[in-house]
Amino acid sequence: MPTTPFSPAELAEFKGILDAKLTEAEADLQLLKDELASDATDKGITTEETTLLITRQGKFIHHLHNAMARIANRTYGICRVTGQPISKERLRLVPHATLSLEARDSVRDKAKPSSELPAS
């Protein structure tokens, strides 16, 4: 398995970005849970919508933790499809990314029904 292309200083930068996002995401999750407990319908959001947001936020937190684990095991920043490095710019914007932009686009194109693909 390829190891990270990033130096220890760069990994520390990404860890800081991930830590900040994780702190914010966990605070947002707690707010959603508090909102659910205090009857979310008072604010125009249904219990079902709040539960879906809680689930989504939990998945996001899980992805952030996985990114931290990749930093720890020195596989951070490697595309899981191509095995090539993910650009620093992409990781600064989406620090939990596991796909390079090219691989992400390729995966999206394969997932589109043929009626949505542009004509050749």
Which tens digits make up the pLDDT trace of 18-46?
999 999 999 999 999 998 888 645 566 78
Task: Provide the pLDDT for residue 120.
Answer: 42
Task: Provide the pLDDT for residue 118.
Answer: 55
* Domain extent listing, the chain: 8-116
CATH code matching the domain that covers 8-116, chosen among 1.10.3720.10, 3.40.605.10, 3.20.20.10, 1.20.120.910: 1.20.120.910
Burial, 88: exposed, middle or buried (Cβ in 10 Å; 0-12, 13-18, 19+)?
middle
Write out pLDDT tens, residues 45-76: 788 888 999 999 999 999 999 999 999 999 99
CB 87 within 8 Å of CB 104: no
Tell me the percentage of the chain whose pLDDT exceeds 90: 70
Burial, 86: exposed, middle or buried (Cβ in 10 Å; 0-12, 13-18, 19+)?
buried
**Average confidence (pLDDT) over 78-102:** 95
Cα–Cα distance for residue pair 58/52, rounded to 1 Å: 10
